[in-house]
């Protein structure tokens, strides 16, 4: 580790041994960025704590203790307690996996649907393109949160339904991006070169077009996790999200809102964790973007 720091070219040399854009290249690049590693460690720690909550902490996330209502921070309850005396720290850690996993899953769904739609629109063009893109235009003409609310209102609250709502609202941006990338890559000379050496259409798409069109999407996904998590929290905050008593952070904020004047700690801690998580995800996303964006390379 210290050897690399002394020799500034070592990083470049080590990176060049991987295929640019390959998984190992990205991992290597990201692992060399201090801020990204800090973000990654924070998320990882949060997730570990979240799954181990029952074994680590004295209290359960739904354990009510009326005597501790609105308790402030203490050694016993570092983040204090909520309106029915549940330990806020335990609830935050337990709820971490919901906020983060909603972010990941919904981004994943959005990206898959977006890539398929965008690739179809970009590759086939013509009527297919028009139909898909106009339909997505309709989607995009609603503000994201409003659309998410509308979808949740149709499906009702619940963990998977929030993922669905957040996922659907994310589709248009991925589809648009994929379509644009496909169009750029299709015009490159190496695609013509592939045709000239008798590549089949399928092979051209799979081997030459997709791998070169997908990396900006991965960047978008890395950044999208944070914003999907935020949307999920917002939905829960508005009462359309994860059903209580599941301690989703947005839901916690929503409940605590009523007591913001008297007991600000109830709002502060979930808010702080939403902020830190989004920041961490963005830091990692930034590093992935740097690793994948060819424009930033010399």
Partner 1 sequence: MAETTLEKKTFLSVENLLVQYKLSGETVYAVNNVSFTVAKGTTLGLVGETGAGKTTIAKAILRILPDHSLKGISGSVVFDGKDLLKLPETEMRSYRGKNISMIFQDPMTALNPVKTVVDQIAEGIALHQNMNKANARIKAIEMLETVGISADRADEYPHQFSGGMKQRVVIAIALACNPDLLIADEPTTALDVTIQAQVLDLISSLQQKLGTSMILITHDLGVVAGTCDAVAVVYAGEIIEYGSKEDIFDHPMHPYTVGLFGALPDLKKNVNRLSPIVGLPPDPTVAYTDSCPFAERCPHVAPQCREKKPHNAEVSQGHFVRCHLAGEIAGKAAP
Partner 2 sequence: MAKLLQVEHLKKYFPTSRGVVHAVDDVSFSIEEGETMGLVGESGCGKSTLGRTCIHLLESTGGTIRFQGNDVTHLSKKALAEYRNCVQIIFQDPFSSLNPRMTIRDTVTEPLKLSGRFRGEELNRESERLMDLVGIEKRFYNSYPHELDGGRRQRAGVARAISLKPKFIVCDEPVSALDVSIQAQILNLLMDLQDEFKLTYLFVTHDLSVVRHISNKICVMYLGQMVETASTDALFARPYHPYTKALLSAIPTVDIHNQQQRILLKGEITSPINPHPGCRFAQRCPYATAECTQSDLPLVEVEPGHFVACSRIRQINKDL
Which positions lie near partner 2, rule CB under 8 A? 16, 19-21, 188-190, 192-199, 203, 207-208, 211-212, 294, 297
Smaller CB distance to partner 1: residue 31 or 74?
A: 31
**12 binding partner 1? (CB under 8 A):** yes
Separation of alpha carbons 162 and 168, rounded Å:
10
Choose the binding region for partner 1 from 5-13, 145-153, 181-189, 223-231 (rule: CB under 8 A): 5-13
Q: Is 88 left (phi over 0), alpha (psi -120 to 50) or beta?
A: alpha
Q: Is 9 in the site for partner 1 (CB under 8 A)?
A: yes
The CA angle 104-108-109, to the nearest 5 degrees, is: 120
Which of 11, 62, 97, 289 binds partner 1 (CB under 8 A)? It is 11
What does each C-alpha distance from 121 to 51, 126, 135, 279 come to in angstroms? 41, 8, 11, 34
Shortest distance (Å) from residue 241 CB to partner 1: 43
Span interacting with partner 1, options 8-16, 46-54, 187-195, 249-257, rule CB under 8 A: 8-16
Question: In the structure encoding, which two tokens stand for residue 153, read together?
Answer: 């209102």
Give the nearest distance from C-beta 277 to partner 2 in angstroms. Answer: 33
Among the residue ranges 7-15, 71-79, 119-127, 150-158, the one whose residues contact partner 1 (CB under 8 A): 7-15
Number of Cβ within 10 Å of residue 231's Cβ equals 26
Segment interacting with partner 1, rule: CB under 8 A, options 3-11, 40-48, 125-133, 191-199: 3-11
| CB closer to partner 2 out of 25 and 259 | 25
Reference 120, options 142, 136, 141; nearest CA is 136
Q: What is the DSSP string of 219-241?
A: HHHHHHHHHHHHHHHHHHHTTSS
Among 1, 2, 8, 198, binds partner 1 (CB under 8 A): 8
Instruction: Please give the Cα distance from 154 to 290 (Å, whole number).
Output: 39
Owner of token pair 């990083």: 11
By CB under 8 A, is residue 17 in contact with partner 1?
no
Binds 12: which of partner 2, partner 1, none (CB < 5-8 Å by kind)? partner 1
Instruction: Select 8 or 187, whichever has its Cβ closest to partner 1.
Output: 8
Could you give the 3-state DSSP secondary structure of residue 81? strand
User: Alpha-carbon distance 117 to 193, whole Å?
Assistant: 26
CB of 212 to partner 2, least distance (A): 6
Interface residue list for partner 1 (CB under 8 A):
8-9, 11-12, 298
């Amino acid at each position: 580790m210290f050897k690399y720091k002394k020799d500034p070219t070592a990083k470049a040399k080590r990176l060049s041994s991987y295929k640019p854009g390959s998984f190992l290249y990205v991992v290597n690049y990201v692992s060399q960025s201090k801020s990204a590693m800090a973000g990654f460690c924070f998320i990882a720690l949060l997730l570990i704590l979240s799954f181990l909550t029952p074994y680590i902490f004295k209290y359960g996330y739904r354990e009510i203790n009326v005597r501790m209502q609105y308790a402030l921070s203490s050694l016993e309850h570092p983040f204090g307690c909520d309106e029915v005396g549940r330990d806020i720290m335990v609830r935050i850690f337990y709820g971490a996996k919901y906020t983060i996993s909603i972010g990941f899953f919904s981004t994943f769904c959005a990206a898959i649907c977006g890539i398929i739609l965008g690739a179809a629109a970009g590759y086939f063009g013509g009527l297919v393109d028009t139909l898909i893109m106009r339909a997505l235009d309709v989607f995009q003409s609603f503000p994201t949160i409003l659309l998410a609310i509308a979808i949740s209102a149709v499906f009702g609250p619940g963990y998977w339904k929030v993922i669905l709502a957040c996922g659907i609202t994310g589709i248009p941006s991925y589809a648009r991006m994929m379509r644009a990338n496909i169009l750029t890559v299709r015009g490159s000379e190496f695609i013509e070169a592939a045709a000239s050496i008798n590549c089949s259409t399928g092979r051209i798409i799979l081997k030459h077009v997709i791998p070169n069109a997908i990396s900006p999407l991965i960047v978008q996904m890395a950044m999208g996790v944070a914003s999907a998590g935020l949307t999920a929290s917002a939905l829960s905050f508005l009462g359309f999200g994860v059903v209580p008593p599941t301690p989703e952070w947005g839901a916690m904020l929503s409940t605590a809102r009523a007591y913001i004047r008297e007991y600000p700690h109830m709002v502060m801690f979930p808010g702080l964790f939403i902020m830190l998580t989004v920041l961490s995800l963005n830091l990692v996303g930034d590093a992935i973007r740097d690793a994948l964006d060819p424009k930033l390379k010399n």
